């Protein structure tokens, strides 16, 4: 494959690596701290549109290599959308099916995208009153399918599978180190399955133990898809608190307003989780004044138009009135 | 270390595994809806849908004696069977069913400690999508034991007298009235807050991380010492629609052995909508 000419024999050759990294783009108008440049790593430039391409590809390859997908067996996975979209598209391109177990609160666009990508969908109602440690309805339902119908489904389990960490250790981490020529002082990321923060964090710490790993999380009761508040993190076995210097809690409404600012001031069509991360990074830049920050921007705005309108009602277009005489 | 007052109402997952398929033991999975049951259940278990099978579908009420008899007959349950209930959401709906079975006088009904999540996460426990073959019975229930349930007029009276323990098992935000219901719930009330004098003891206080009930000593400390539930007084547990409070009702009545504990199944969706009912925030 030729990354320079960008000619590929199949879509999977586009998957990122140190030789073919996703772009880093500097924040200009929204960051007033000259001594603390902030760069966004645009993970929506992955072939299926989000950071989850990395984990999904690693999980799928691992299942194939271990012979878990023979005899018409498909996959089942709990997902708030992005993992499902990546995994469904990849699985279908390799001839498998994916049953995606999706919480009700996932935005409409993502549910439609999952179907377009070729997933079978099972939508579960949101947790009624979550208790610590009990896990999500979607995770439990996926586990149930994998256990009761093991001949039909295998569950990659992005919440527990070390491959989800390893892929970031092998690709995202080295990409950032090379792209910044080792100048990075702060990494800003959100928490979901924690594959990104744990994998990138481990790699960067090995290179330079002084690098600060900052997790940005929405306040409780949030509706930012894909993210978890630390109190919801017990479901992820990949969360390694020893790697994290600071967890910033940001009002989740800012996820949406900051995302809009990125679209309208930087030309970055970033989704709400990126907006949340930007807010956290701006707070730290204003506090520390000096540094070199890299923010992982997980996906772009296109899947969140209905959530954006919900949080920023002025975005609702006023359609022309049809007057019937 | 003290024992639960009625340890016989609980069975562990290992016990269930050892007793699978034994005559006289009937497993019933109770879920808010039966999607989880359909995806996979304990071999031999029948599935009850809390929304459509355990409540009257016309007026707001528990199912009638006749409906209960039909439900159990169709499920192949005899009055002499040991019924083991388990379910989703940490056994909330199984606890509601437990309360219903007790109301209609079923002699031997028990909960599987930890519910379906515990079974699911144990490597040696099987799940199946196969529905059990059922030999229908002619189940006859008793008249409902109304001493286990409290209705609105008594709640209003009790509230004014202030002689009872009122235990509000909802989340702290529901208790203070910050929210009327957890986000996304369709059943709500007109007003937020709690019944004056109620103690806020969220249902999850009684559960371990794996979904099992905490030990008798821990429960005694939480409910009686820390939260001040007075065992000499009568007690009413309530939540929003009566299923989380069934979980606490089991704790107070059977694990701690309080003498007169009632479940207020009308709960906040009823109380919080009554014109003139006193509310504290």
Which residues of chain B lie closer than 8 angstroms to A221, CB-CB? Answer: 183
Model confidence at A260: pLDDT above 70: yes
User: Between chains, do B120 and A140 touch, taking CB under 8 Å as contact?
Assistant: yes
Q: How far apart are CA B78 and CA B134, in angstroms?
A: 12
Nearest to B40 among A147, A223, A234 (CB): A147
Nearest residue on chain A to B185, alpha-carbon basis? A128
Q: What is the pLDDT of residues A178-234, one digit of tens each?
A: 999 999 999 999 988 899 999 999 999 999 999 999 999 988 767 777 776 666 666
User: Between chains, do A144 and B39 touch, taking CB under 8 Å as contact?
Assistant: yes
Query: What residues does each domain of chain A span?
Result: 11-47+162-311, 52-154
What percentage of chain B has pLDDT greater than the value 90?
88
Q: Which CATH class is domain A11-47+162-311?
A: alpha beta
Q: What is the pLDDT of residues A262-296, one digit of tens each?
A: 999 999 999 999 999 999 999 999 999 999 999 99
Same CATH topology for A11-47+162-311 and A52-154? yes
**Catalytic residue status for A125:** no
Best mutation target among B96, B120, B213 (most A Cβ atoms within 10 Å) is: B120
Q: What is the pLDDT of residues B186-213, one digit of tens each?
A: 778 999 999 999 999 999 899 998 889 9
Question: Do the beta carbons of residue A207 and residue A184 sit within 8 Å?
Answer: no
ipTM of the complex: 0.87
Record: fold of A52-154:
Rossmann fold (3.40.50)
Q: What is the pLDDT of residues A42-64, one digit of tens each?
A: 999 999 999 999 999 999 999 99
User: Between chains, do A134 and B90 touch, taking CB under 8 Å as contact?
Assistant: yes
User: Between chains, do B117 and A134 touch, taking CB under 8 Å as contact?
Assistant: yes
Which residues of chain A lie closer than 8 angstroms to B88, CB-CB? Answer: 137, 140
Which residues of chain B lie closer than 8 angstroms to A128, CB-CB? Answer: 32, 89, 92, 182, 185
Q: What is the pLDDT of residues A88-128, one digit of tens each?
A: 999 999 999 999 998 887 888 889 999 999 999 998 876 55
Sign of the CA dihedral A258, A188, A274, A312? negative
Query: What residues does each domain of chain B span?
Result: 7-143, 149-271
Q: What is the pLDDT of residues A301-325, one digit of tens each?
A: 999 999 999 999 999 998 888 777 7
**Catalytic residue status for A52:** yes
Nearest residue on chain B to A103, alpha-carbon basis? B184
Model confidence at A130: pLDDT above 70: no
Nearest to B117 among A126, A140, A223 (CB): A140
CATH of domain B7-143: 3.40.250.10
Tokens representing residue A92 in the block: 């279908």
Nearest residue on chain B to A223, alpha-carbon basis? B183
Model confidence at A134: pLDDT above 50: no
Shortest Cα–Cα distance, B202 to chain A (Å): 10
* Structure confidence at residue A13 (pLDDT): 95
* Structure confidence at residue A234 (pLDDT): 63
Q: What is the pLDDT of residues B117-137, one digit of tens each?
A: 999 999 999 999 999 999 999
Nearest to A131 among B39, B185, B207 (CB): B207
CATH second-level architecture of B149-271? Answer: 3-Layer(aba) Sandwich (3.40)
* Structure confidence at residue A232 (pLDDT): 63
User: Between chains, do B36 and A140 touch, taking CB under 8 Å as contact?
Assistant: yes
Which residues, including other chains, have CB under 8 Å from residue A242's CB and lie 6 or more apart? Answer: none
Concatenate the DSSP letters of all residues of chain B into one string: -PPPS-GGGEE-HHHHHHTTT-TTEEEEEEESSTHHHHH-B-TT-EEEEHHHHSB-SSSSSBPPHHHHHHHHHHTT--TTSEEEEEEHHHHHHHHHHHHHHHHTT-SEEEEETTHHHHHHT-TT---B-PPPP------------GGGB--HHHHHHHHHHT-SEEEE-S-HHHHHTS-SSSTT-S---SS-SB-TT-EE--GGGGB-TTSPBPPHHHHIIIIIIIS---TTS-EEEE-SSSSHHHHHHHIIIIIS--SSEEEESSHHHHHTTSTT---B-
* Per-residue pLDDT band at A20 (split at 50, 70, 90): very high
Which residues of chain B lie closer than 8 angstroms to A102, CB-CB? Answer: none
Span B225-233, average pLDDT? 96
User: Between chains, do B204 and A105 touch, taking CB under 8 Å as contact?
Assistant: no
User: Between chains, do A134 and B92 touch, taking CB under 8 Å as contact?
Assistant: no
Interface residues of B toward A, Cβ cutoff 8 Å, are 32-33, 35-36, 39-41, 88-90, 92, 116-117, 120-121, 126-129, 170-171, 182-185, 203-204, 207-211, 244
Buried b (16+ CB within 10 A) or exposed e, B65-93: bebbbebbbebbbbbebbbbbbbbbbbbb
* Structure confidence at residue A201 (pLDDT): 97
Nearest residue on chain A to B173, alpha-carbon basis? A221
């Amino acid at each position: 494959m030729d990354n320079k000419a960008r000619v590929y024999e199949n879509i999977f050759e586009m998957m990122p690596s140190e030789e073919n990294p996703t772009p880093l783009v500097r924040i200009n108008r929204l960051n007033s701290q000259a001594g603390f440049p902030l760069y966004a790593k645009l993970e929506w430039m992955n072939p299926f549109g989000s950071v989850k391409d990395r984990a999904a590809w690693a999980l799928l390859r691992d299942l194939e290599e271990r012979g878990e997908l023979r005899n018409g067996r498909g996959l089942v996975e709990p997902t708030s959308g992005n993992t499902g979209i990546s995994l469904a598209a990849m699985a279908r391109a390799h001839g498998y099916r994916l049953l995606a177990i999706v919480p009700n609160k996932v935005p409409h666009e993502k549910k439609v995208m999952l179907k377009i990508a070729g997933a079978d969908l099972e939508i579960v109602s949101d947790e009624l009153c979550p208790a610590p440690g009990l896990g999500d309805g979607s995770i439990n339902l996926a586990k149930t399918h994998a256990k009761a119908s093991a001949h039909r489904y295998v569950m990659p389990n992005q919440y527990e599978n070390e491959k989800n960490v390893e892929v970031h250790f092998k690709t995202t981490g080295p990409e950032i180190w090379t792209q910044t020529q080792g100048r990075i002082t702060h990494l800003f990321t959100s928490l979901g399955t924690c594959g990104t923060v744990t994998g990138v964090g481990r790699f960067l710490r090995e290179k330079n133990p002084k690098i600060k790993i900052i997790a940005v999380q929405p306040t409780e009761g949030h509706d930012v898809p894909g993210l978890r508040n630390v109190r919801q993190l017990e479901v992820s076995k990949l969360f390694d608190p020893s790697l994290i210097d600071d967890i910033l809690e940001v009002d989740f409404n800012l996820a949406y307003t900051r995302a809009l600012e990125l679209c309208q001031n930087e030309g970055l069509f970033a989704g709400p989780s990126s907006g949340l991360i930007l807010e956290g990074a701006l707070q730290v830049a204003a506090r520390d004044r000096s540094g070199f920050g890299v923010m992982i921007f997980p996906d772009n705005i296109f899947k969140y138009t209905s959530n954006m309108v919900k949080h920023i009602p002025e975005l609702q277009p006023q359609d022309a009135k049809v007057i019937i005489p | 270390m003290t024992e639960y007052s009625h340890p016989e109402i609980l069975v562990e997952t290992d016990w269930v595994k050892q007793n699978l398929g034994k005559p006289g033991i009937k497993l019933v999975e109770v879920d808010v809806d039966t999607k989880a049951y359909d995806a996979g259940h304990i071999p031999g278990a029948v599935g009850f849908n809390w929304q459509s099978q355990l409540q009257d579908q016309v007026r707001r009420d528990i199912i009638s004696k006749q409906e209960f008899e039909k439900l159990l007959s169709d499920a192949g349950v005899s009055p002499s069977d040991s019924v083991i209930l388990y379910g989703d959401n940490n056994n909330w709906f199984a606890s509601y069913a437990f309360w219903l079975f007790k109301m209609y006088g079923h002699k031997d009904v028990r909960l599987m400690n930890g519910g379906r999540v515990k079974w699911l996460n144990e490597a040696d426990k099987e799940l199946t999508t196969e529905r059990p073959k059922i030999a229908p019975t002619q189940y006859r229930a008793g008249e409902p034991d109304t001493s286990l349930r409290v209705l609105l007029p008594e709640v209003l009276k009790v509230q004014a007298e202030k002689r009872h323990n009122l235990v509000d098992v909802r989340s702290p935000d529901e208790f203070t009235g910050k929210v009327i219901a957890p986000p996304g719930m369709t059943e709500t009330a007109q007003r937020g807050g709690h019944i004056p004098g109620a103690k806020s003891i969220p249902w999850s206080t009684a559960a371990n991380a794996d979904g099992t009930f905490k030990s008798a000593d821990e429960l005694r400390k939480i409910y009686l010492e820390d939260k001040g539930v007075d065992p000499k007084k009568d007690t009413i547990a309530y939540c929003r629609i009566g299923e989380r409070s069934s979980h606490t009702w089991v704790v107070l009545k059977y694990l701690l052995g309080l003498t007169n504990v009632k479940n207020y199944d009308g709960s906040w969706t009823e109380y919080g909508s009554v014109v003139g009912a006193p509310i504290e925030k």
